[in-house]
């Protein structure tokens, strides 16, 4: 099945809602138009950071919601496993020597070398991944030029995501109430997934040049949404990169810690920033409704 067929099949898993019905335009056209509009906004709105905020998670109704992706909208581990397997299968067919040598120890060693040689691009996960493949192919005596196609296979699989149960329904509602912007340190392009229909645009280190918790990525997302940072809420699973990073950039921040990831963090360590994490998007939605 080709890429377009895969997207159609994946799209069938997601119910439609009022926010994604635009007669006469394909999903690709709508996503391209939204991205162009977002970049125009990004260039036209000045940065206006405000002093950091701590204390209660939500204190005013936002105009825009910024969302982390991995382990916030979908589980990362099964997505990565599937993408790694797809890549391994492709290498087995097209670069068998590389496939035999590309074990975890080799990947770690090559990745360390790539980052050491290109520290200024360590945040660019797509560059790091493709360069790892190029070096692995070269070391195995196979064609380094295959790295581009191998990476394309990986990233296409990386975009085949399965959202958490409540995500589609909540985003469907939020897309009609707020401007939604994806803010991720990963390289899964939300606009190339079925969830992209709900978003105005996306920022990540590859595009912006700096990762969370750097304030500039949050402020760039606010520019893209054409809102003051005080009118934006960022939601994510990492208390340092998402919650504290957003708060220090002057945004509201909501910490989403799903039950299966509760072991990752000591909740009490972040009590001054967020007394109790939310368990899913529905809980955050209820908190937003309570604001009036």
pLDDT digits (tens, 9 = 90+) for 54-74: 556 678 899 999 999 999 999
pLDDT digits (tens, 9 = 90+) for 253-283: 999 999 999 888 888 889 888 888 999 999 9
Which tokens in the block code for residue 6? 């895969």
Q: What is the pLDDT of residue 242?
A: 97
Do the domains at 29-74+163-291 and 76-158 have one common CATH topology?
A: no
CATH topology of domain 76-158: 1.20.120
| DSSP letters spanning 31-68 | HHHHHHHHHHHHHHS---------SSS--S--SEEEE-
pTM above 0.85, yes or no: no
Q: What is the pLDDT of residue 23?
A: 34
Residue bearing the bigger pLDDT, 90 or 19? 90
The residue extents of the domains of the chain are 29-74+163-291, 76-158
Q: Is the dihedral of CA 120, 47, 227, 273 positive or negative?
A: positive
CATH topology of domain 29-74+163-291: Rossmann fold (3.40.50)
Q: What is the pLDDT of residue 56?
A: 62
């Amino acid at each position: 099945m080709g890429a377009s067929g895969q997207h159609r099949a994946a799209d069938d898993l997601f119910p439609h809602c009022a926010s994604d019905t635009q007669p006469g335009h394909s999903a690709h056209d709508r996503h391209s138009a939204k991205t162009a509009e977002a970049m125009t906004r990004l260039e036209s709105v000045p940065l206006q950071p405000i002093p950091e905020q701590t204390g209660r998670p939500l204190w005013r109704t936002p105009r825009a919601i910024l969302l982390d992706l991995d382990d916030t909208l979908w589980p990362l581990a099964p997505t990565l496993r599937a993408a790694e397997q797809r890549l391994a299968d492709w290498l087995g067919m097209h670069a068998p020597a590389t496939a035999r040598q590309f074990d975890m120890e080799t990947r770690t060693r090559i990745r360390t070398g790539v980052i050491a040689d290109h520290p200024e691009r360590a945040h660019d996960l797509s560059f790091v991944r493709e360069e790892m493949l190029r070096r692995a192919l070269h070391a195995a005596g196979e064609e380094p030029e295959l790295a581009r196609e191998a990476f394309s296979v990986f990233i296409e699989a990386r975009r085949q995501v399965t959202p958490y149960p409540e995500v589609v329904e909540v985003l469907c509602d939020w897309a009609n109430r707020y401007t939604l912007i994806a803010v991720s340190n990963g390289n899964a392009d939300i606009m190339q997934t079925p969830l992209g229909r709900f978003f105005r645009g996306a920022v990540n280190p590859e595009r912006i040049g700096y990762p969370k918790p750097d304030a500039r990525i949050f402020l760039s997302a606010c520019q893209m949404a054409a809102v003051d940072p005080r009118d934006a809420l960022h939601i994510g699973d990492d208390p340092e990169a998402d919650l504290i990073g957003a708060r220090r950039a002057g945004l509201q921040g909501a910490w989403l810690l799903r039950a299966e990831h509760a072991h990752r963090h000591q909740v009490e360590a972040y009590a001054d920033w967020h007394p109790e994490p939310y368990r899913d998007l529905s809980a955050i939605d209820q908190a937003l409704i309570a604001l009036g």
